[in-house]
Amino acid sequence: MRESIEKAKRIVIKIGSALLTNDGLGLNHQGIDQWVGQMAQLRKQGIEIVLVSSGAVAEGMSRLNWTTRPKSLHELQAAAAIGQMGLVQAYESAFQKYDFHTAQILLTHDDLGNRRRYLNARSTLKTLLRHQIIPVVNENDTVAFEEIQFGDNDTLAALVANLVEADHLIILTDQTGLYEENPRSNPDAKWVDEASVGDSRLDNMVSSKGGALGRGGMFTKLRAARLAARSGSSCLIASGREQDILLRLIKGEKLGTYLMAEQSPVTARKQWLAGQLQLAGSLTLDDGACKVLIGKGGSLLAVGVRQVSGQFQRGEVVSCVDGQGREIARGLMNYNSEEVMKLIGQSSDQIESILGYIDEEELIHRDNMVITAGT
């Protein structure tokens, strides 16, 4: 239910181009200051925030005096490169008023499709959050090409919500939420307060047409909500022009449209692990490690590994088997096969001395593992 957002510990906030650029007239510094002020208040309340910001292309268009979004890729890339400078400077200046720093994170679809780079991005974002830095994420338009573009920052925001395991995704737009019909053509259209994100009736309510600056309308926002729900993140779609919108949403006010995820984060992630990924190798565990995984739901440590089979990279999925070859679990590796070979039977405090560095104490963290014994 909507009240659950009051308990949120980590949220992803996406702000659209129309809001950020005064509908194409240049950066909306007044709006940025207001949203940043609200985010700073939430951060001081202990809520971790990842900001996914559109606006680079639109700001670049404004600086170049272009009135329509270019269609050619190289012109889009040039506009993004120009606009990114102003966008990042605006956020850093605004957050510094509240003694917060920002960090720019530029991603392509390929970054999140590649397991190793996925985990690297995840680790970087979580490290920034741990240091109370506000990550500002955008698509890397300056190097992305058509085959790997996200296509819209709503999708990017959903994937980031999956990446950092956010409690909620908040999409701020120039509309007040989702309606059963297009409110621009039917002023009496009924507003959707809450709905299950999987409700098929929502598909008839959305439009795939976006504004001149963006790349999608409510269609991409519904799709983003469903993507975010895969890791248990519920989604709020609301107007960024409402006074104190972020603070009021977090208090549970009935503003915008709340699309509820149907699964808890752990359940969704572990279902994904169990059924949708190919296995890159296997680890044979001793009896003690098997008991810890099955009985206590613990993480897998190197000390419990007896044999490594296959060649795999960090972030790929491997099977964990007992001495008789029976699978008991599977999960995402924090180290590659060559590294694990060196770590067999060793305690976690020896990882750095053996490898020369340490990324994680666990070979597989329990949050990235699903127990398959008995299934």
| CATH (domain of 366) | 2.30.130.10
Q: Which of 234, 263, 292 is the last residue of a domain?
A: 263
The 10s digit of each residue's pLDDT in 48-64 is 999 999 888 888 888 88
Domain containing residue 166: CATH number? 3.40.1160.10
What HEC string does the chain produce?
CHHHHHHCCEEEEEECHHHHCHHHCCCCHHHHHHHHHHHHHHHHCCCEEEEEECCHHHHHHHHHCCCCCCCCHHHHHHHHHHHHHHHHHHHHHHHHCCCCCEEEEEECHHHHHCHHHHHHHHHHHHHHHHCCCEEEEEECCCCCCHHHCCCCHHHHHHHHHHHHCCCEEEEEECCCCCECCCCCCCCCCCECCEEECCCHHHHHCCCCCCCCCCCCCHHHHHHHHHHHHCCCCEEEEEECCCCCHHHHHHCCCCCCEEEECCCCHHHHHHHHHHHCCCCCEEEEECHHHHHHHHHHCCCECHHHEEEEECCCCCCCEEEEECCCCCEEEEEECCCCHHHHHHHCCCCHHHHHHHHCCCCCCCCECHHHEEECCCC
Flag whether 269 is in a domain: no
Share of the chain above pLDDT 70, in %: 89
- Domain hosting 347: range is 276-371
Q: In the prediction, which pLDDT does 54 show? A: 83
Task: Give the end of a domain, one of 214, 229, 263.
Answer: 263
Domain closes at, from 233, 263, 293: 263
pLDDT of residue 90: 94
Q: Is there a single domain that holds both residue 240 and residue 286?
A: no
**Residue 320 and residue 287 in one domain:** yes
- Antiparallel, parallel or unpaired: β 317-321 and 327-332: antiparallel
Residue 148 has pLDDT above 50, yes or no: no
Q: Are residues 190 and 242 in the same domain?
A: yes
Same domain, 180 and 299: no
- Output the pLDDT for position 169: 96
pLDDT at residue number 232:
86
Please check whether residues 61 and 193 belong to one and the same domain. Answer: yes
Report d(CA 366, CA 375) in Å as an integer: 18
pLDDT at 150 over 90: no
Mean pLDDT (the chain) is 87
Residue 268 domain flag = no
pLDDT one-digit tens code per residue, 228-284: 888 889 999 999 999 999 999 999 999 999 999 987 766 666 766 776 456 899 999
Residues 11, 158 within the same domain: yes
Shared domain check, 246 and 342:
no
Q: How far apart are CA 166 and CA 14, in angstroms?
A: 13
Strands 281-285 and 305-309: antiparallel
Tell me whether residue 271 is in a domain: no
Q: How does residue 357 score in pLDDT terms, banded at 50, 70 and 90?
A: very high
Same domain membership, residue 288 and residue 243: no
Specify whether 209 is located in the same domain as 305: no
Averaging pLDDT over each range in 126-140, 211-225, 275-289, which range is the top one?
126-140
**283 with 291: CB under 8 angstroms?**
no
- Residue 326 in domain: yes
pLDDT-derived band at 24 (thresholds 50, 70, 90) equals low
Instruction: Compute the distance between CA of residue 82 and CA of residue 225 in angstroms, rounded to an integer.
Output: 30
Quote the number of domains for the chain: 2
Q: Quote the pLDDT of residue 359.
A: 84
- 126 and 175 share a domain? yes
Mean local confidence (pLDDT), 302-315? 95
Contact between residue 13 and residue 6 where contact means Cβ atoms under 8 Å apart? no
Owner of token pair 């503003």: 255
In a domain, 102, yes or no: yes
pLDDT level of residue 207 (50, 70, 90 thresholds): low
Q: Decide if 233 is inside a domain.
A: yes
Let me know whether 304 and 224 are in one domain.
no
247 phi/psi in degrees, rounded to 5: -65, -40
Whether the full predicted model's pTM is greater than 0.85, yes or no, is: no
Do 61 and 173 belong to one domain?
Answer: yes
Report which of residues 148 and 231 the model is more confident about: 231
Confirm whether 270 is domain-assigned.
no
